[in-house]
Each structure stands twice: as C-alpha cells, then as structure tokens.
Amino acid sequence: MVPRAASDRYHIDARTDTTTSREQMMLMIQTLLQDRFQLVLHKESRNVSVYHLVAESKDGSKLQPSKRELHRAELQRGSNT
C-alpha cells in the first residue's frame, strides 16, 4: 500500500435516482474510483478444491481449540479486566 493512501481520507457525497439498481450503483462507484483515484480493479472467478469436514459422532465434535486460539482468548480476557 502506498504510505499516503493509508493516511489520506476522502468523503464522497453522491445521489442517484431512486430507480437506480444496486448493480448500477456499484458500477457508478467503480467508475468514480477509477476516474478520480486511478483505482484499478480486477475480478476473476476460479474453480478451486475445498475440503468439507463432517464430524459424525453421538457425543458431538471432539475438536479442541488450537493453542493459538486459547492464548488469544486469554489475552483478550486480560485486556478486558
């Protein structure tokens, strides 16, 4: 990220007709960002492999939280006190 992009803030106040669809609104916002800020977007669809975990047990899941999650929970509890 460009350092200036992290610190600069902009407020955009815009109005459209009430008949404007969500898709039209998104296209107008994208065009505005491209024109004013030279923002370039790239959309791509991909087919990827995924895994689906199914836990079939009468007693429910036997998965335990990771040590990292337990440590994060302890830190959050400590900062709330």
Q: Does a structural domain hold residue 58?
A: no
Model pTM score? 0.42
What's the domain count of the chain? 1
Residue 9 lies in a domain: yes
Residue 56, in any domain of the structure: no
Give me the pLDDT at residue 59, please: 80
Under 8 Å between Cβ of 11 and 23: no
pLDDT digits (tens, 9 = 90+) for 29-80: 889 889 988 888 888 999 999 988 777 777 877 777 788 888 888 888 876 5
Residue 55 lies in a domain: no
The larger pLDDT score, comparing residue 49 to residue 1, is at 49
State yes or no: pLDDT of 2 exceeds 70. Answer: no
Instruction: Evaluate whether residue 4 is within a structural domain.
Output: yes
pLDDT in tens, 3-12: 666 677 888 8
Q: Assess if residue 67 is contained within a domain.
A: no
Residue 1, pLDDT above cutoff 60? no
Structural domain of 23: 1-42
Is the residue at 15 inside a domain? yes
Domain membership of residue 13 (yes or no) is: yes
